[in-house]
Amino acid sequence: MLPLKNRLLVIAEKKMVSNDPSHDFLHAKRVLMLAENICKKEGGDMEIILPAALFHDAVIYPKNDPRSKLAPEESAKFIAGELRDIGGYPKEKIEKVVTIIKECSFSKGTIPSSLESKILQDADRLEVTGAISIMRTFASTGQMSRAFYHYEDPFAKKRTPDSFTYGLDLFYTRLLKVGKMMNTKTAKNMAKRRTKFLKDFLTELKLELSGK
């Protein structure tokens, strides 16, 4: 019988959407990799973190879809069913997997109830900063048919950022904020470099938009 990780990877690759590169199988694999790296330094039960990381976005809707708020619960329900059927997975850990998936949502701002939940939150939030986050932001921007930036005030100097209308505004509502929202020391250190890259990107963009 294949090890649990390999079995779950096969299921995840079939389940994850292919029309949203911000939340596809590669995103799930990156979150798992980050969670594994954080777990090595911070501790935590990888048997709980593994399925939660791979399937935290098993069900996903565009951010401007009213069903978006239901995605964490639906994702948790899906993997709970898979873990009950897969054979050999500790039944007493399934509810813990469900809990940390529900607590992972950035928009809900839930305080993590366990070390495993802290690690999953951090791993997912690291995908919301740095080079990857820029790629994900503008992939979602295309999917949602929103403008790259506000024509008259790209960097939201004189207006309230509106990330549902302008892709670049997501930097100010989310990307530049998550570094200070990490739970673990390991993730905080990783986020510092990524946040610096975001600021460097904005500096270059300002130059390009000015025609210099």
Q: Give all domains of the chain, ordered by start, each with its CATH number.
A: 4-209 (1.10.3210.50)
Q: What is the pLDDT of residue 33?
A: 97
CA pair distance 127, 85, nearest whole angstrom: 30
Of the ranges 60-64, 84-88, 136-140, which one carries the lowest mean pLDDT score? 60-64
CA pair distance 151, 169, nearest whole angstrom: 12
**Residue 203 token pair:** 């500096």
Could you tell me what percent of the chain has a pLDDT over 90?
Answer: 81
> Do residues 167 and 137 make contact, with C-beta atoms less than 8 angstroms apart?
yes
What mean pLDDT comes out for the span 78-106?
A: 93
Q: Measured at the alpha carbon of residue 141, what is the angle toward residues 36 and 165, in degrees to the nearest 5?
A: 125
pLDDT band at 139 (very low <50, low <70, confident <90, very high): very high
CA pair distance 6, 32, nearest whole angstrom: 12
Q: What is the pLDDT of residue 77?
A: 96
CA pair distance 164, 143, nearest whole angstrom: 12
What mean pLDDT comes out for the span 29-50?
A: 97
Q: Which residue has the tokens 């992972």?
A: 104
Q: What is the pLDDT of residue 67?
A: 86
Residue 125 neighbours by CB distance under 10 Å: 23
The CA dihedral of 140, 146, 149, 155, to the nearest 10 degrees, is -70
Residue 110 neighbours by CB distance under 10 Å: 16
At residue 86, does pLDDT exceed 90? no
At residue 202, does pLDDT exceed 70? yes
Residues paired with 166 in a beta bridge: 147
Q: What is the pLDDT of residue 2?
A: 58
What mean pLDDT comes out for the span 5-17?
A: 90
